[in-house]
Amino acid sequence: MYDREKRKNYYEKNKEKIKEYQKQWKKKRRFTHPHEAIRHNERIKRYHKTEEGKAALKAGHLNVTAKRRSQRGRVSKEDILKLWEIYKCERCDCQENLQIDHIKPAMHGGLNVGENLQLLCVDCHKEKTREELGIPKLKVEQEEDIQLELKI
Ligand SMILES: [Zn+2]
């Protein structure tokens, strides 16, 4: 008779072994049934073209980057979809070249979570990063001077 509890216990006790077995089985299956693997890859490719799939990719990318710089937290595809619903730069309202920004940056202890994300256009993003790094903005005249110097 099927004993759910017993089965669960067995799984818990032999978790690693079972997982390894399944991994090997999948590996073998890829060779014996290559069409399945191709169909699987195509399904994933199609998924990544949908709005949801794109959001999942973006979330994964953010999570990998966060981990690399020891930033805590995890974002989900739902977090990204929520951002895309607004779809405009938080600073200047434009809708071009939008990027995802951590409102409180990682270097100031900001977490990699949905509530700490916003969309900024490339220019506003650069501007914000400059502010965070404490680099003063060049005055227009100074910029003009540099332009002149470059021309000479
Ligand atoms: Zn902007």
With respect to residue 75, please indicate whether it lies within any of the assigned structural domains.
yes
Whole-model pTM: value is 0.69
User: Does residue 26 fall inside a structural domain?
Assistant: no
Q: What percent of the chain has pLDDT over 70?
A: 89
pLDDT at 84: 94
pLDDT in tens, 64-107: 999 999 999 999 999 999 999 999 999 999 999 999 999 999 99
Q: Inter-axis angle of helices 51-68 and 34-49, to 10 degrees?
A: 90
Task: Tell me if 74 sits within 8 A of 80, measured CB to CB.
Answer: no
**Cα 132 to ligand 1 centre (Å):** 16
More confident residue, 46 or 141: 46
| Count of domains for the chain | 1
Which has the closest alpha carbon to 117: 94, 98, 131? 98
Question: Residue 88 C-alpha to ligand 1 middle, in angstroms?
Answer: 8
Whether 14 maps to a domain, the answer reads no
Tokens standing for residue 64: 């990998």
We report the CATH number of the domain holding residue 55 as 1.10.30
pLDDT in tens, 7-28: 999 999 999 999 999 999 999 9
Q: How far is the CA of 78 from the centre of ligand 1 (A)?
A: 23
- How far apart are the CA of 112 and the centre of ligand 1, in A? 21
C-alpha of residue 129 to centroid of ligand 1, in Å = 13
Token pair in block for residue 19: 């997982």
**Boundaries of domain holding 139:** 50-151
* Runs of H (alpha helix) within the chain: 4-13, 15-32, 34-49, 51-68, 77-86, 122-133, 140-151
